[in-house]
Amino acid sequence: MCGIAGYIGYRDAYPIVIKGLQRLEYRGYDSAGILLFDKDVSISKTKGKVSDLEAIMINGIFKKGSIGFGHTRWATHGVPNNVNSHPHVSNSGELVIIHNGIIENYDAIKKELIKRGYTFQSDTDTEVLVNLIEEVKKTHDCKLGKAVQIALNQVIGAYAIAVFDKAKPDEIIVAKLGSPIAIGIGKENKEFFVASDASPFIEYTKDAIYLEDEEMAIIRKNKEIKIRKIKDDSLITPQVQELKMNLEQIEKGGYDHFMLKEIHEQPNAITDTYRGRLIADQGIIRLSGVDNNLEKFTNANRIIIVACGTSWHAGLVAEYLFEDFARIPVEVEYASEFRYRNPILTEKDIVIAISQSGETADTLAAIKLAKEKGAFVYGVCNVVGSSIARESDAGSYTHAGPEIGVASTKAFTTQITVLSLMALRLANVKGTMSSSKYHMYLQELELIPQKIASLLKIDDHIKEIAKTYLLSNNCLYLGRGFNFPVALEGALKLKEISYIHAEGYPAAEMKHGPIALIDDRMPVFVIAINKGHYEKVVSNIQEIKSRKGKIIAVVTEGDTQVKEIADHVIEIPETEEAFTPLLTTIPLQLLSYHIAVMRNCNVDQPRNLAKSVTVE
């Protein structure tokens, strides 16, 4: 959570930092602030979005300077208001900081600093940290870099910070533990960029360094960057990586919202996910992460999947896939619960961590725990070089491209694609699936992108349905088997972007409680494809209908039975049951999107949420 973007070089820092913050707003948008240095420090900050910050910076004087950094906040300590916005300044006014993360022992440090005469304006842990650095600098009579290092050795928690010292205005110090920092390197070290991910500087340089945990960097104009270990001060040789991301990928490309663009990108995203990995006509699946660890997978006692939110829903689909195809027992855990319940793990367990951002704090903590207990950790991440990807023993990227809309869409379907490939590969190696079935599944998976493309063409029909239900206060989503997780995901998509209360249930669970809610004002979205438990789902639909509930059913093309009972139907192309989640989820994404737009909600940046949840 929280985004940081900074610049030091020869250009005007203001437009670079502002544009950078806009690209990082997916990480939080409770407040925004910026520091610029041009002969003196100027700081502007405000509650609200980056656009609100731009609006208060009408006076051009404050926009000058070729060094600066900014912050977009997702509030943790202290309500979102002007005072709690970053940057924060030390008591002397000399040091300025921006911070992404949480300093857990800030209260004890704050009390100690108060005893020494420090005063605090805000309720934030960050203001405590900048004053701790100041106190260390004074008592040790040292330079900023050393003071940052000593101070960070005293804090517990997570941080990505950038610190500036008025007395040394040609330098920015950055440091990382738990929250990400990417540093863009300009030609001949004439300029440097600092950010929570590489998107703010993609048009300026393709050379980037991703700091590792407990590393700090001293960045000076026209000097080689210096990276040190925070613990023991040892020098690290910077590993410069070439960025593959391009500008087009992080812009809206003519769509009204990133979410809509990302829904429509799914055919290409899934093709990118299986490109070079699925060679259907030859019956080949290549996944180096699995292939290099085949023995571990085939001898595994069980697979434990850890994830949060939408990624957890993809994990639930994977449970069906791995158990059905490869006959490996699977448990799916909320990472936030798993990490705290002393789980029983052995070396014969495989823990799969699923995460779009690769930065989710609970998922990261869960895999660290799993590694400590000897399990083999496999990461399924989208963001290349992210913390979870780096922490995993092996893994597969989803290659969905940047997902900027806060609500996950293409991340979900590409995660399911990777997990399908893994399950099929293992089924083939273990001999748990006949060769003919295996080949058929490969052919079918290859066709999914074109089936999604055809499904996206019925967007107008879905928009019409959205109009009917946009004023609902509650909705239910039902599905069975492979589509039970899709029901959960459909409900999550609706509630997070339209603020309508929605619940997902396995259809057969209705009669154990939720059916009491059904009346003529309750829309029920039912996934009733002609596979698996179709007849049973039809009975569930009848039960709802006889209690006057409104039925919106996702059915297979050509369905006649459900069509007769449902108020609205949305048809999906025929496919194998195991791959239906890749199709049934699409109309539910579109429905949520249209309902949210019609309710005037901020679709890409829903209230209280952030894309990358780097705090517990």
List, by residue number, the catalytic residues.
2, 611
Q: How far is CA 275 from the centre of its chain?
A: 23
Side-chain half-sphere CA neighbours of 297 within 13 A: 25
| CB of 359 vs ligand F6R, minimal distance in Å | 7
Is 326 or 610 the residue whose CB approaches ligand F6R more closely? 610
356-385: which residues touch ligand F6R (CB under 6 A)?
Answer: 356-357, 360, 363
Is 398 or 540 the residue whose CB approaches ligand F6R more closely? 398
When asked if residue 428 is in the footprint of ligand F6R (CB under 6 A), the reply is no
Is 124 or 311 the residue whose CB approaches ligand F6R more closely? 311
Is 149 or 363 the residue whose CB approaches ligand F6R more closely? 363
When asked if residue 416 is in the footprint of ligand F6R (CB under 6 A), the reply is no
Among 408, 420, 580, 589, binds ligand F6R (CB under 6 A): 408
| Residue 262 and residue 412 in contact, taking contact as beta carbons nearer than 8 Å | no
Tokens of 554: 């996702």
Helix, strand, coil fractions of the chain, as percent rounded to 5: 40, 25, 35
When asked if residue 25 is in the footprint of ligand F6R (CB under 6 A), the reply is no
Tokens of 221: 């104009």
When asked if residue 613 is in the footprint of ligand F6R (CB under 6 A), the reply is yes
Closest CA to 78 of 50, 110, 56, 51: 110
71: CB partners within 8 A, 6+ apart: 2, 3, 4, 21, 32, 33, 34, 45, 85, 86, 87, 98, 99, 100
DSSP state of 281: G
225-264: which residues touch ligand F6R (CB under 6 A)?
Answer: none
34-53: which residues touch ligand F6R (CB under 6 A)?
Answer: none
Tell me the window of 355-363, 371-379, 469-477, 566-574 that interacts with ligand F6R (CB under 6 A).
Answer: 355-363
* φ and ψ at residue 352, rounded to 5 degrees: -105, 120
Is 65 or 581 the residue whose CB approaches ligand F6R more closely? 581
Q: 512 to each of 9, 481, 517, 543, how far by Cα in Å?
A: 64, 18, 11, 13
When asked if residue 311 is in the footprint of ligand F6R (CB under 6 A), the reply is yes
Q: Which residue is it, tokens 């009408």?
A: 58
Is 135 or 319 the residue whose CB approaches ligand F6R more closely? 319
| CB of 283 vs ligand F6R, minimal distance in Å | 31
Would the CA dihedral through 498, 499, 500, 505 be positive or negative?
positive
What is the C-alpha to C-alpha distance for residues 121 and 86, in angstroms, rounded to an integer?
A: 12
When asked if residue 310 is in the footprint of ligand F6R (CB under 6 A), the reply is yes
Is 306 or 427 the residue whose CB approaches ligand F6R more closely? 306
Among 33, 184, 289, 309, binds ligand F6R (CB under 6 A): 309
Tell me the window of 113-121, 243-251, 352-360, 538-546 that interacts with ligand F6R (CB under 6 A).
Answer: 352-360
| CB of 303 vs ligand F6R, minimal distance in Å | 18
Is 403 or 571 the residue whose CB approaches ligand F6R more closely? 403
When asked if residue 355 is in the footprint of ligand F6R (CB under 6 A), the reply is yes
Among 158, 163, 316, 407, binds ligand F6R (CB under 6 A): 407
What is the C-alpha to C-alpha distance for residues 600 and 109, in angstroms, rounded to an integer?
A: 44
Is 305 or 538 the residue whose CB approaches ligand F6R more closely? 305
Site string for ligand F6R, 441-480 (x = CB under 6 A): ----------------------------------------
Residue at shortest CB range from ligand F6R: 309
Q: What is the DSSP string of 462-474?
A: HHHHHHHHTT-SE
- Angle, vertex CA 506, rays to CA 504 and CA 509, nearest 5: 110
When asked if residue 349 is in the footprint of ligand F6R (CB under 6 A), the reply is no
Tell me the window of 38-46, 121-129, 309-317, 390-398 that interacts with ligand F6R (CB under 6 A).
Answer: 309-317
Tell me the window of 201-209, 283-291, 353-361, 542-550 that interacts with ligand F6R (CB under 6 A).
Answer: 353-361
Per the DSSP assignment, residues forming a β-bridge with 550 are 523
Q: 289 to each of 273, 294, 323, 392, how far by Cα in Å?
A: 14, 9, 20, 10
Q: E strands within 414-496? A: 474-479
Is 484 or 593 the residue whose CB approaches ligand F6R more closely? 593
When asked if residue 308 is in the footprint of ligand F6R (CB under 6 A), the reply is yes
What is the C-alpha to C-alpha distance for residues 552 and 528, in angstroms, rounded to an integer?
A: 10
- H or E stretch at 309: helix 309-321
Q: Which residue is it, tokens 């829309």?
A: 523
Among 496, 559, 571, 604, binds ligand F6R (CB under 6 A): 496
Tell me the window of 297-305, 307-315, 321-329, 587-595 that interacts with ligand F6R (CB under 6 A).
Answer: 307-315
| Residue 462 and residue 587 in contact, taking contact as beta carbons nearer than 8 Å | yes
Cβ-based burial of 244 (10 A; exposed 0-12, middle 13-18, buried ≥19)? exposed
| CB of 220 vs ligand F6R, minimal distance in Å | 34
When asked if residue 386 is in the footprint of ligand F6R (CB under 6 A), the reply is no
Q: What is the CA radius of gyration of the chain?
A: 25
When asked if residue 200 is in the footprint of ligand F6R (CB under 6 A), the reply is no
Closest CA to 531 of 485, 581, 491: 581
**Which amino acid type is present at position 163?**
V
> Site for ligand F6R (CB under 6 A): how many residues?
14
What is the C-alpha to C-alpha distance for residues 160 and 98, in angstroms, rounded to an integer?
A: 8
| CB of 584 vs ligand F6R, minimal distance in Å | 17
Tell me the window of 157-165, 351-359, 418-426, 508-516 that interacts with ligand F6R (CB under 6 A).
Answer: 351-359
At residue 307, the 3 state secondary structure works out as strand
Residues of this chain that interact with ligand F6R (CB under 6 A) are 308-311, 355-357, 360, 363, 407-408, 492, 496, 613
